[in-house]
Amino acid sequence: MRAFSILCLLASTAVAIPSPKISSVRRPGHRGPNRRDIVTNQVNTTAASPTITASKDNIWASLTNDEAADVIAYLHNQTDLNLTSVEDAGPWDNTIMVVDLLVPNKTDALSYMDGNGTKPERWVLASLLFGATEEPYAQDWVVGPVPTTEETVYYPYTYGSQAKDAKIRVFDQDDHSELYANASMEIKDIISDILNATIETQDDLSSTFDIWGIDPLWHQPDENGNDRVISWVGFWRYPDTVQMQNGSINFDGETLLPQGLYLQCDITGRDPSKWGLMGVLYGDEYYSSLQDFRSAWEQPGFEKYAVNYGGDWIGTDQAGEVLPLEEIAPPMPVQPAGQRFKVDEENKYIEWMDFTFYLTFTRDTGMRLYDIKYKGQRIIYELGLQEAVAHYAGNDPVQSGTAYLDTYYGFGPYAFSQIPGFDMPLYAYCMNTTFHASELSKSHRCGISIFEADQNYLIQRHSNADYISATKNIALTVRSVSTVGNYDYNFEYIFYLDGSIETVVRASGYIQSAYYAKNSEYGYQIHDALAGSMHDHSLNFKVDFDILGTQNTVVKHVIEAKDIKYKWNNLTRSTMHMYRTEVTSEDHGKMNWSANSQEQVVIVNKDVPNKYGEPRGYKIMPSRGGAGMHLTIKNSSNLINSQGFADHAYYVTKRKDSELRASSAWNDYDTANPLVDFNKFFDGDNLEQEDIVMWFNLGMHHVPHTGDLPNTVFSTAQSGMIITPHNYLLSDPSRQATQQIRIDYTDNSTTDVYTFGSQPVTGDIELAQVAWDPYTYYGDVAVRKFPYDPQNPFNDTESIV
Ligand SMILES: *[C@@H]1O[C@H](CO)[C@@H](O)[C@H](O)[C@H]1NC(C)=O
Ligand SMILES: *[C@@H]1O[C@H](CO)[C@@H](O)[C@H](O)[C@H]1NC(C)=O
Ligand SMILES: *[C@@H]1O[C@H](CO)[C@@H](O)[C@H](O)[C@H]1NC(C)=O
Ligand SMILES: *[C@@H]1O[C@H](CO)[C@@H](O)[C@H](O)[C@H]1NC(C)=O
Ligand SMILES: *[C@@H]1O[C@H](CO)[C@@H](O)[C@H](O)[C@H]1NC(C)=O
Ligand SMILES: *[C@@H]1O[C@H](CO)[C@@H](O)[C@H](O)[C@H]1NC(C)=O
Ligand SMILES: *[C@@H]1O[C@H](CO)[C@@H](O)[C@H](O)[C@H]1NC(C)=O
Ligand SMILES: *[C@@H]1O[C@H](CO)[C@@H](O)[C@H](O)[C@H]1NC(C)=O
Ligand SMILES: *[C@@H]1O[C@H](CO)[C@@H](O)[C@H](O)[C@H]1NC(C)=O
Ligand SMILES: *[C@@H]1O[C@H](CO)[C@@H](O)[C@H](O)[C@H]1NC(C)=O
Ligand SMILES: *[C@@H]1O[C@H](CO)[C@@H](O)[C@H](O)[C@H]1NC(C)=O
Ligand SMILES: *[C@@H]1O[C@H](CO)[C@@H](O)[C@H](O)[C@H]1NC(C)=O
Ligand SMILES: [Cu+2]
């Protein structure tokens, strides 16, 4: 996935970047297309948008630019941290990677939100990278309160980490690309031959091939038992420029062009003279030196394999015959009478029908929802992504060694501006998103879109001989799309009139593929020399339920086949019944969805039964695609102690301020010794009538086939989970909707029509709602934070489209 863009970045920038992987500034790639400077987005999307003022401030709001600048300056003032500004830093300096809000502790938050408590102070979680040492490490720090004063303190975030001192070792602090280039140049004649290229100079090499590989890095003991850090890299061909009708373009399909040649290197320590090549893999044969590889190549009969080249096939432009009538403007959504929800933009607070919630946004995990209330009662305190793992497998070490933990790269930095009319309806309400990384604050216009839409199937319907009744299924969607390297993730939360909330993730973009040779056990051959590389996506979400208070219990209402003898029949009947069982302890907190969906999983407050004595609750269940899945691989050799959140379909734990997230963005640095070890959350706590959190996985087992070329499609690569009221109300709340109709009829005619006060559509469609000038697509805004110049906030502005 992303590794390649990062290496492009290294190759294309003279500036030393302390930690290549976390750089949030994604500059035009090595051979990237020319980019336009784009200044404005002219869709009048927020026109006539009803506003509201939240009764309480958004205490989860992202750090403002001023807060980020303040805390960065404060940290630079702490001489013991010995920080160098990112702009001046090299790998042997200490730098600030990310500053983000450290959310208030829940009791403080609730005392403010629900009572007369004071507004919680603003605290910051700062991730620092200590490069000025032989053993570089990352460390999370607590800083606060902000704005900084004499009272402000800073200390390691030990209470939120299972690692000692909240530190994690960094084993790839230095740039190893020269090592790979040097080794490659020693076999440039072989490369030229087997990969059909003309490699005379290092420039030829670096303009033809991108050399990158496993993530995370491996560790293995040498013969003396000392830990060695191993990197395997593969050769990827840069896509050729393709000529399209209006000029040329480089499609971003490098991950479709593996070349089948791999180098193994020892990159232990910080002294480049101690690094070295350990082996070569080609055609499923391993050679333990360049010399061995050369000898084999010189033998007559050395088997050469086909090469992957770019070309039109990696392009995503229209191709093939235009289908009948297909080029005619298709149906599209309109919002004829204006927006039907209210927004407090400053507080990022939304009111739609009977739902209210706050939004926020983080560098690591993108958008998050807090304090979701339904009919005035909180049902969810927090809902959001925790981590996304993409775990590959293959007969080559690069696929086998790839298990991306995507929050490492971050979902925030890549939540690019959504395209009106494509990513979202033209009338969508747009929120800008901001994150602070590498001492730079960046905003994406319309990183989050919010819109209502007709789901185009009814939420309710019934007819008989006398009447028909039908209700439109109008739902509110909150959407954010992040392109993390080769893959595009569409995240959304959908609110429905029946009180349900659905979490959906979809994937598109370029697959990371494998070389075809002898790889048939790990996927299909999908192009000339290409295999779709099998992988599992597992995306973990946290849902902190508060059903009628914080004291909740997970109950399973199990339907079960049973033979029962009743009083009214002497024969035993084969039938089914239902029983209830509670998840009472974290010892039983790791679960999978039952076979045949026979368990209904309900989160209830046992102390608040409805009038029939049934506990009121919300049910949670998979709703689309691969929901309910988890990683196939057990005890992954790549993820080691960092996959705890992904080996079951869902989990329940007791909520703790010290267990905010299922993973850390920096676990990828050293997966054996993660900053957050999810498994350690399970320490036997009682779960009966406690403040509980559910962590569920969405995802898919992805074995790419020819239909993934050139891009995976959202229509099938999707997964969803829905929560829905369960004996929570006494009837279906969607009956409140006026957007329904009852038509009474007799044998041959309609007699009466009831519309319940829903207003008819009148007037003309405002054309601004159905047309948009794509030349107004809007890019990034960047604000450098150190030194901070609030008078000239856009000095570092660059466009990213
Ligand atoms: C946007 O819409 C509002 C209300 O409909 C209107 O007053 C305003 O002039 C519009 N702005 C632009 C730039 O069209
Ligand atoms: C940092 O130190 C300088 C010099 O002592 C001082 O002027 C500035 O206010 C300090 N900034 C912060 C945020 O502590
Ligand atoms: C502080 O960092 C610099 C590099 O930025 C390094 O040369 C120096 O040794 C460090 N000082 C201490 C006391 O660690
Ligand atoms: C929040 O809770 C943690 C863990 O209990 C505690 O260490 C920390 O001091 C609390 N933070 C604040 C600001 O009260
Ligand atoms: C908040 O304060 C008001 C006035 O002092 C008091 O009437 C009310 O009960 C308090 N509410 C809570 C939840 O403490
Ligand atoms: C790569 O080769 C150059 C030229 O021989 C040498 O100076 C440099 O140290 C080498 N780099 C590595 C990482 O081996
Ligand atoms: C090698 O590359 C050249 C173009 O550089 C192409 O014409 C030729 O067909 C390729 N050979 C093979 C065996 O793919
Ligand atoms: C591309 O070419 C077509 C056909 O020549 C032309 O109609 C169209 O305007 C061109 N588009 C751009 C963006 O130049
Ligand atoms: C979103 O960002 C753009 C570009 O910086 C800015 O012009 C606009 O005012 C922002 N919108 C809001 C609602 O802050
Ligand atoms: C069950 O069998 C007994 C003995 O044959 C009979 O008396 C009784 O009526 C039967 N009960 C039912 C419900 O058929
Ligand atoms: C429709 O039915 C009504 C009585 O149900 C009858 O009076 C009328 O003639 C019918 N109309 C037609 C067109 O069949
Ligand atoms: C930003 O640009 C202004 C105007 O060019 C210049 O005066 C100022 O020094 C710059 N600030 C920084 C932090 O580079
Ligand atoms: Cu996939």
The residue type found at 582 is: E
Residue 13 lies in a domain: no
The residue type found at 788 is: Y
Beta-ladder partners of 506 = 490, 718
CA distances from 123 to 60, 279, 544 (A): 10, 48, 21
Judge whether residue 398 has pLDDT over 80: yes
The residue-averaged pLDDT of 649-671 equals: 98
| Choice between 322 and 795, residue whose per-residue pLDDT is larger | 322
Tell me, what's the pLDDT at 445?
87
Residue 469 lies in a domain: no
Residue 28 lies in a domain: no
Grouping H, G, I as helix, E, B as strand and the rest as coil, residue 58 is coil
Beta-strand relationship, 429-437 and 440-454: antiparallel
Beta-strand relationship, 209-213 and 218-221: unpaired
Q: Which of 360, 358, 357, 351 is nearest to 373 (CA)?
A: 357
Tell me, what's the pLDDT at 443?
86
Both 240 and 195 in a single domain?
yes
Both 163 and 177 in a single domain?
no
Element (H, E) at 182: helix 177-186
Give me the number of domains the chain comprises.
3
Both 153 and 184 in a single domain?
no
Q: Which of 106, 107, 104 is nearest to 120 (CA)?
A: 104
Verify cis geometry, omega within 30 degrees of 0, for the bond prior to 710: yes
Taking the CB of residue 271, how many other CB atoms lie within 10 A of it?
Answer: 9
Contact 91, 16 (CB under 8 A): yes
Measured from the CA of 144, which atom of ligand 4 is nearest? Answer: 13
Q: Which of 161, 164, 165 is nearest to 656 (CA)?
A: 161
What is d(CA 349, CA 55) in angstroms, rounded to the nearest whole number?
Answer: 10
Q: Which of 529, 397, 417 is nearest to 780 (CA)?
A: 417
Known catalytic residue at 180: no
Tell how far the Cα of 778 is from the centroid of ligand 9, in angstroms. Answer: 10
The residue-averaged pLDDT of 563-583 equals: 97
Residue the block writes with tokens 């829940």 = 106
Tell me, what's the pLDDT at 762?
79
Nearest protein Cα to ligand 8, atom 9: 246
- Is the beta carbon of 157 within 6 A of some atom in ligand 4? no
What is d(CA 259, CA 9) in angstroms, rounded to the nearest whole number?
Answer: 21
Beta-ladder partners of 721 = 503, 622
Of all ligands present, the nearest one to the C-alpha of 267 is 6
For the segment 22-47, what is each residue's pLDDT rounded down to a tens digit? 333 222 222 222 222 222 334 444 44
Pocket probe mutation, ligand 7, options 192, 196, 303, max atoms within 8 Å of Cβ = 196
Mean predicted lDDT score pLDDT of the chain: 91
Nearest protein Cα to ligand 3, atom 1: 82
For the segment 45-86, what is each residue's pLDDT rounded down to a tens digit? 444 689 999 999 999 999 999 999 999 999 999 999 999 999
Verify cis geometry, omega within 30 degrees of 0, for the bond prior to 760: no
Tell me, what's the pLDDT at 444?
87
User: Of 210, 252, 364, 406, which residue is the catalytic one?
Assistant: 406
> Domain with 310 in it: what CATH number?
3.10.450.40
Residues 6+ apart with CB under 8 A from 122: 63, 67, 101, 144, 145, 146, 147
Both 675 and 705 in a single domain?
yes
The residue-averaged pLDDT of 594-622 equals: 97
Tell how far the Cα of 794 is from the centroid of ligand 2, in angstroms. Answer: 23
| Choice between 118 and 790, residue whose per-residue pLDDT is larger | 118
The residue type found at 462 is: H
Nearest protein Cα to ligand 6, atom 1: 182
Pocket probe mutation, ligand 8, options 243, 244, 245, max atoms within 8 Å of Cβ = 245
Tell how far the Cα of 73 is from the centroid of ligand 9, in angstroms. Answer: 25
Binned at pLDDT 50, 70 and 90, residue 785 comes out as: low
Judge whether residue 126 has pLDDT over 50: yes
Judge whether residue 610 has pLDDT over 50: yes
- The tokens for 743 are 């038509």
Residue 200 lies in a domain: yes
Contact 347, 57 (CB under 8 A): yes
Contact 589, 651 (CB under 8 A): yes
Tell me, what's the pLDDT at 783?
67
Both 593 and 559 in a single domain?
yes
Of 702, 717, 736, which one is at a domain's C-terminal end?
A: 736
Residue 800 lies in a domain: no
Judge whether residue 766 has pLDDT over 70: no
- Using alpha carbons only, what angle is made at residue 458 by residues 456 and 464, rounded to the nearest 5 degrees? 140
Residue the block writes with tokens 């593996």 = 258
Taking the CB of residue 145, how many other CB atoms lie within 10 A of it?
Answer: 14
Judge whether residue 761 has pLDDT over 90: no
Tell how far the Cα of 432 is from the centroid of ligand 9, in angstroms. Answer: 6
Judge whether residue 514 has pLDDT over 90: yes
Percent helix / strand / coil, the chain, rounded to 5: 15, 40, 45
Contact 426, 451 (CB under 8 A): no
For the segment 529-557, what is each residue's pLDDT rounded down to a tens digit? 999 999 999 999 999 999 999 999 999 99
Both 163 and 272 in a single domain?
no
Residues of the chain with pLDDT > 90: what percent? 83
What is d(CA 641, CA 302) in angstroms, rounded to the nearest whole number?
Answer: 41
Residue 744 lies in a domain: no
Judge whether residue 247 has pLDDT over 90: no
Judge whether residue 332 has pLDDT over 60: yes
The residue type found at 198 is: T
Judge whether residue 1 has pLDDT over 90: no
Tell how far the Cα of 9 is from the centroid of ligand 3, in angstroms. Answer: 26
Known catalytic residue at 789: no
Of 115, 147, 169, which one is at a domain's C-terminal end?
A: 169
Beta-strand relationship, 501-509 and 487-495: antiparallel
Contact 801, 38 (CB under 8 A): yes
- Using alpha carbons only, what angle is made at residue 100 by residues 94 and 101, rounded to the nearest 5 degrees? 140
Of all ligands present, the nearest one to the C-alpha of 42 is 1
Verify cis geometry, omega within 30 degrees of 0, for the bond prior to 793: no
Residue 117 lies in a domain: yes
User: Of 262, 392, 429, 487, which residue is the catalytic one?
Assistant: 487
Residues of the chain with pLDDT > 70: what percent? 91
Verify cis geometry, omega within 30 degrees of 0, for the bond prior to 420: no
Tell me, what's the pLDDT at 801?
28
Tell me, what's the pLDDT at 796?
55
Helices marked H in 201-289: 202-208
Both 527 and 656 in a single domain?
yes
Domain hosting 198: range is 173-314
The residue-averaged pLDDT of 760-768 equals: 74
Tell me, what's the pLDDT at 795?
54
- The tokens for 67 are 């807060």
Tell how far the Cα of 266 is from the centroid of ligand 3, in angstroms. Answer: 27
Q: Could you tell me where the beta strands, DSSP code E, fall in 364-420?
A: 366-374, 377-392, 403-405
Q: Which of 533, 431, 555 is nearest to 41 (CA)?
A: 431
What is d(CA 442, CA 15) in angstroms, rounded to the nearest whole number?
Answer: 19
- Using alpha carbons only, what angle is made at residue 170 by residues 168 and 173, rounded to the nearest 5 degrees? 155
Judge whether residue 263 has pLDDT over 50: yes
Both 97 and 80 in a single domain?
yes
Of all ligands present, the nearest one to the C-alpha of 40 is 9
Beta-strand relationship, 467-471 and 740-745: antiparallel
Nearest protein Cα to ligand 8, atom 8: 246
Both 246 and 392 in a single domain?
no
Measured from the CA of 73, which atom of ligand 2 is nearest? Answer: 13
Both 230 and 209 in a single domain?
yes
Judge whether residue 743 has pLDDT over 90: yes
Tell how far the Cα of 351 is from the centroid of ligand 5, in angstroms. Answer: 25
Measured from the CA of 82, which atom of ligand 3 is nearest? Answer: 1
Tell me, what's the pLDDT at 599?
97
What is d(CA 331, CA 466) in angstroms, rounded to the nearest whole number?
Answer: 33
Judge whether residue 563 has pLDDT over 80: yes
For the segment 152-207, what is each residue's pLDDT rounded down to a tens digit? 999 999 999 999 999 999 999 999 999 999 999 999 999 999 999 999 999 999 99
Tell me, what's the pLDDT at 32?
26
Contact 683, 645 (CB under 8 A): no
Half-sphere exposure of 381 (CA within 13 A, CB side): 27
Residue 157 lies in a domain: yes
The residue-averaged pLDDT of 493-504 equals: 98
The residue-averaged pLDDT of 744-768 equals: 87
Of 685, 712, 736, which one is at a domain's C-terminal end?
A: 736
The residue-averaged pLDDT of 686-712 equals: 97
Both 165 and 179 in a single domain?
no
Of all ligands present, the nearest one to the C-alpha of 116 is 5
What is d(CA 116, CA 114) in angstroms, rounded to the nearest whole number?
Answer: 7
For the segment 352-395, what is each residue's pLDDT rounded down to a tens digit? 999 999 999 999 999 999 999 999 999 999 999 999 999 999 99
Both 550 and 599 in a single domain?
yes
* Residue-level length of the chain: 801
Q: For the whole model, what pTM was predicted? A: 0.92
Nearest protein Cα to ligand 6, atom 2: 182
Tell me, what's the pLDDT at 470?
98
Binned at pLDDT 50, 70 and 90, residue 747 comes out as: confident
Measured from the CA of 746, which atom of ligand 11 is nearest? Answer: 5
- Is the beta carbon of 74 within 6 A of some atom in ligand 2? yes
Which of 76-85, 222-231, 625-634 comes out lowest in average pLDDT?
625-634
